[in-house]
Amino acid sequence: MWRHAITSAGQVSLPAEVRQRWDASAVLIEDEGDRLVLRPVPVDPVDGIRGILKDKVTVKISTDEAMRRWREEDNAATERKWREHYEG
Closest to 29 measured CA to CA, from 71, 81, 64: 81
* Average pLDDT, rounded, for the chain: 82
Q: How confident is the model at residue 45 (pLDDT cuts 50, 70, 90)?
A: low
Bigger pLDDT: 14 vs 55: 14
Q: Count CB-CB contacts under 10 A for residue 23.
A: 9
Q: Tell me if 67 sits within 8 A of 49, measured CB to CB.
A: yes
Averaged pLDDT, 50-59: 64
Bigger pLDDT: 85 vs 56: 85
